[in-house]
Amino acid sequence: MDRPSAPLDDARGAGAGEGRMADPSNPIRVLVVDDEPPIRMVVRGFLEREGMKVEEAADGPGAVAAARTFAPDVVVLDIMLPGFDGLEVLRQIRTTADPYVLLLTARSQEVDRIVGLTVGADDYLTKPFSPGELVARVHALLRRRRTAAPQVAAVFRTGDLVVDRPRRSVMVEGTPVDLTTLEFGILEVLGRDPGVVLTRQQLLDAVWGIDFVGDDHVLEVHVGNLRRKLGDDPASPRYIETIRGVGYRLRAGER
């Protein structure tokens, strides 16, 4: 994790100090979940300097237990954890509580980020990160009006295709299909709104990230491989349709 070269007050210029004011009698409660003690220590220090009350957890089971007893307003949650991963922590937390959740992801975990946001995270931050930016993100979350967001189904279906988002599993006609990370990402993004056309650029931004440098030929290659694994004929598609000159869509079916 990047170490800040400027004091916290400088880092707060990005808007961190504009959030809810610290109330000593009712401090904001933040649960920091990461298996690396140095990261937890630095993040805790910055949040406590903002007047927040902080608890820590180092693994999946400990995070779920801490969330139940500590009742945090915000959870800063690393995806890669021992015990079970952050996505399972997120799923279990969401069954009983509704804190804001800020995911911490590695740069190679675009699909985990997509799935995490789909199953209930509010924001994400890519490692390595500045603790000052993390504090600003926490304040930004606290400024949001908490309303019931549209729920995206954990499992979606179209025809004989079944995709389980939290488990990242895919089945066709009851048979498991082994997909790469990028192939699953394409399918997951298309499955958010079956029947809705997504442009090639929208898919590249969602799966590869907005910093991706390259042409859309790489998308066509991965869509081709995905179709082959699903047994989907591009000339007569059951699942993924090509909209010539625009992009792709997943055929609408039972969700």
| Ranges of each domain in the chain | 8-143, 155-250
Burial of 29 per CB tally in 10 Å (0-12, 13-18, 19+): middle
Question: Is the peptide bond between 37 and the residue preceding it cis, with omega within 30 degrees of 0?
Answer: no
pLDDT along the chain (255 residues), means of 10: 34 37 76 96 95 96 94 94 90 83 76 64 86 92 65 79 89 93 89 87 80 74 94 93 91 65
250 close to 158: Cβ distance less than 8 angstroms: yes
Superfamily (CATH) of domain 8-143: Response regulator (3.40.50.2300)
Taking each helix axis from N to C end, the angle separating 60-70 and 86-94, rounded to the nearest 10 degrees, works out to 30
pLDDT of residue 108: 57
* Residues recorded for the chain: 255
Q: Give CA separation, 247 vs 140, 198, 230, in Å.
A: 33, 6, 19
Positive or negative torsion for Cα 215, 216, 220, 226? positive
pLDDT of residue 245: 86
Write the class of the CATH domain 155-250.
mainly alpha
pLDDT of residue 111: 61
Tokens 């990047």 locate to 2
Asked if domains 8-143 and 155-250 share a fold, the reply is no
Phi, psi of 144 (to 5 degrees): -70, 145
pLDDT of residue 110: 61
